[in-house]
């Protein structure tokens, strides 16, 4: 192992990588602080996960269910899906103006509660109707709240509770006439791998029987089994065979618990997609694309959306630079370093990766409302 490899392993140690949800989790908290601060009473910033002991029963025999045919295939050619933590006027206008690009929206309305139930509700009927009228699929996400592994483990390792959870998800989809569901259960452990695969296979069979889609978000990796628990819990061959949309979160290479650096290096992203092509059909694979940034103080990073970065630039007038990945960065007089994604980094990313991997299903953007508005004409030019 050479020096560069050792540095990469150190940067991606289990301790550091377990902080990878920083951008997603911190951004959600930031949005809610603006909109519903009462909900955050007693909540702190993202920190090292608390390990909750889970007593596992004897392993469940791995019996892969007979999968019903997938729903009607989506149109050929790369499409855009987008995760939507909130859906205010800004986000509504974005979807309306770019409905020709956006194939699917993943509303962040639901999470897995500690008792195994699904907590949440439709938060914007108007927004949902607006998206539907524009021809955009409605496939809400279900999260394991706080990326709590224990909530998921207690369900997937118990056949009865797993079946009940699948029944609840199917009921949620059917009652609201969603086009499907997006499973975003992150930061699991290696010992969850087989039963997590079985859960996804059983859920896919139930949804496909009703002509509904199954989407899922997965951690990035460049080889099996992966270099920390999150990706090690995800068997890409089995999961890829079961789901309709396999969304790889190809970001947070440098993150809130690492030193400053590019958030999604192109060479790494290319390696992730190259490996993915050996595990599942590229026609199911979506490239997760970041539209956020980080401001680092030493080895601690704070996630920023594009508007926050733009305000920093206006206030501080730093010397703007761009690395070989197309990522923009600058250093403040305080010594803090900022890396972020904008329309130019999107252009470079799409040109490079879609050329190298032309059969991808599309891209999945994290997240709606946090982006440089100029990414939309860039996406239109590069993908259509």
Domain with residue 119: its CATH number is: 3.20.20.80
Residue 59, domain member (yes or no): no
How far is residue 19's CA from residue 16's CA, in Å, rounded to a whole number?
Answer: 6
Provide the mean pLDDT of the chain.
86
Calculate the CA 81 to chain-centre distance.
11
Residue 134, domain member (yes or no): yes
Tell me the whole-structure pTM to 2 decimals.
Answer: 0.84
Per-residue pLDDT tens for 236-246?
Answer: 999 999 999 99
- Show the tokens assigned to 319: 């010397």
**Position 44 pLDDT exceeds 80:** no
Query: In three state form, how does the secondary structure of 123-179 look?
Result: CCHHHHHHHHHCCCEECCEEEEHHHCHHHHHHHHCCHHHHHHHHHHHHHHHHHCCCC
Mean pLDDT calculated for residue range 92-98: 96
Residue 332, domain member (yes or no): no
**Position 177 pLDDT exceeds 50:** yes
- The residue ranking higher by pLDDT, 324 or 14, is 324
pLDDT-derived band of residue 114, with 50, 70 and 90 as boundaries? confident
Mean pLDDT calculated for residue range 188-203: 99
Distances (CA, A) of 82 to 103, 282, 343: 9, 19, 16
CA dihedral 11, 13, 14, 19 (to 10 degrees): -10
Q: What percent of the chain has pLDDT over 90?
A: 78
Residue 300, domain member (yes or no): no
What is the per-residue pLDDT for 384? 84
pLDDT-derived band of residue 116, with 50, 70 and 90 as boundaries? confident
Residue 58, domain member (yes or no): no
Mean pLDDT calculated for residue range 88-101: 95
Per-residue pLDDT tens for 143-164?
Answer: 999 999 999 999 999 999 999 9
Per-residue pLDDT tens for 47-76?
Answer: 333 333 444 444 444 444 444 555 544 555
**Position 322 pLDDT exceeds 50:** yes
What is the per-residue pLDDT for 352? 98
Residue 199, domain member (yes or no): yes
What is the per-residue pLDDT for 115? 82
What is the per-residue pLDDT for 273? 99
The structural domain count of the chain equals: 1
Q: What are phi and psi of 2, to 5 degrees?
A: -80, 180
What is the per-residue pLDDT for 71? 57
- Show the tokens assigned to 347: 């252009």
Residue 355, domain member (yes or no): yes
Residue-wise burial string across 349-381, b where 16 or more C-beta atoms lie within 10 A, e elsewhere: bbebbbeebeebbbbbbbbbbbbbeebbebbee
Per-residue pLDDT tens for 255-300?
Answer: 999 999 999 999 999 999 999 999 999 999 999 999 999 999 999 9
What is the per-residue pLDDT for 369? 97
Per-residue pLDDT tens for 14-26?
Answer: 333 333 444 555 5
In the numeric block, the tokens 């997760």 are attached to 288
Residue 164, domain member (yes or no): yes
* Residues with Cβ within 8 Å of residue 129, at least 6 apart in sequence: none
- Tell me which residue range forms the domain holding 32: 9-38+68-291+343-383
What is the per-residue pLDDT for 14? 33
Mean pLDDT calculated for residue range 373-381: 98
**Position 84 pLDDT exceeds 90:** yes
How far is residue 29's CA from residue 151's CA, in Å, rounded to a whole number?
Answer: 20
How far is residue 86's CA from residue 69's CA, in Å, rounded to a whole number?
Answer: 33
Look at residues 4, 3, 16 and name the one whose alpha carbon lies nearest to residue 227.
16
**7: Cα within 13 Å, side-chain hemisphere:** 7
Mean pLDDT calculated for residue range 29-52: 36
């Amino acid at each position: 192992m050479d020096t560069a490899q050792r540095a990469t392993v150190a940067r991606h140690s289990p301790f550091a990588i377990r902080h990878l949800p920083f951008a997603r989790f911190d951004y959600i908290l930031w949005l809610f602080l603006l909109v519903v601060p009462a909900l955050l009473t007693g909540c702190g910033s993202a920190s090292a996960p608390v390990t909750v002991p889970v007593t596992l029963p004897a392993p469940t025999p791995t019996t892969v269910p007979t999968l019903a045919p997938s729903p009607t295939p989506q149109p050929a050619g790369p499409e855009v899906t987008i995760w939507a933590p909130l859906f205010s006027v800004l986000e509504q206008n974005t979807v309306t103006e770019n409905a020709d690009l956006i194939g699917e929206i993943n509303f962040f309305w639901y999470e897995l509660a500690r008792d195994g139930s699904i907590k949440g509700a439709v938060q914007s009927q108007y927004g949902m109707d607006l998206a539907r009228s524009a021809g955009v699929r409605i496939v809400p996400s279900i999260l394991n709240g706080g990326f709590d592994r224990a909530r998921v483990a207690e369900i997937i390792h118990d056949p009865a509770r797993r079946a009940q959870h699948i029944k609840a998800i199917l009921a949620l989809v059917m009652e609201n006439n969603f086009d499907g569901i997006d499973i975003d259960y992150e930061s699991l452990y290696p010992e969850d791998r087989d039963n997590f695969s079985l859960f996804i296979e059983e859920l896919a069979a139930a949804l496909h029987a009703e002509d509904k889609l199954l989407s899922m978000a997965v951690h990035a990796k460049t080889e099996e089994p992966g270099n920390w628990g999150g990706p090690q819990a995800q068997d890409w061959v089995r999961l890829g065979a079961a789901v309709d949309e396999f969304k790889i979160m190809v970001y947070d290479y440098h993150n809130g618990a690492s030193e400053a650096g590019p958030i999604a290096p192109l060479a790494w992203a290319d390696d992730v997609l190259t490996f993915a092509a050996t595990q599942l059909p590229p026609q199911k694979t979506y490239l997760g694309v970041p539209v956020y940034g980080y401001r680092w103080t030493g080895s601690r990073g704070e996630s920023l959306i594009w508007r926050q970065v733009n305000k920093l630039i206006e206030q501080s007038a730093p010397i703007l630079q761009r690395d070989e990945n197309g990522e923009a960065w600058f250093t403040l007089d305080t010594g803090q370093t900022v890396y972020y994604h904008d329309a130019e980094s999107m252009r470079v990313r799409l040109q490079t990766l879609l050329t190298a991997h032309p059969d991808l299903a599309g891209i999945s953007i994290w997240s709606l409302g946090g982006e440089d508005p100029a990414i939309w004409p860039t996406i239109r030019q590069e993908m259509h």
